[in-house]
Amino acid sequence: MSAGMTLILGGVRSGKSRLAERLAQDSGLPVTCIATATADDDEMRARIAAHRARRPATWSLVEEPFQLAATLHTHAAPDRCLLVDCLTLWLTNLLMSADERALERERAALLETLPHLPGRILLVGNETNMGITPLGALNRRYCDEAGRLHQSLASLCDRVILTVAGLPLVLKGERV
């Protein structure tokens, strides 16, 4: 296992991003935020702006919607904290890609790369699999892929946290 790798899961507006930002700040390390969102509409642009406004100006920002493993490999360092927000937007980007093999390729690259990265890594994702099975093949595939991704990442991470109503519940590893 890679020391300092944390997976933070939660629903929409659960407090997962704020928790990740606090943990990044508390690390005392220089922080690079790797953002996977794409600003396709006004609502998403507003969400992205709110995240940017909350973060310290000293943090670096890298926007990468597809090649997460390569981006992590490029920016990871023993004296740096990388904050990935968000895994499930990255997953969505890959599912919607015209390249049908992109998801399989990029997921495998991420799982292969993560255990070898130096420094502190914080991974944020939406937990979508706590309700009913959604209608529609794409929606079900998204939930299935998110569940598989989160399980694989949880096995690699030193700490896994579920965030509900702004409260962190540590599922694996040290308390917050």
Catalytic positions are: 51
The Cα–Cα gap between 96 and 138 comes to 10
The Cα–Cα gap between 84 and 36 comes to 8
The angle that helices 16-26 and 42-54 make with each other, rounded to 10 degrees, is 30
- Name the region of 105 (left: φ>0; alpha: ψ -120 to 50; beta: rest): alpha
The Cα–Cα gap between 121 and 72 comes to 9
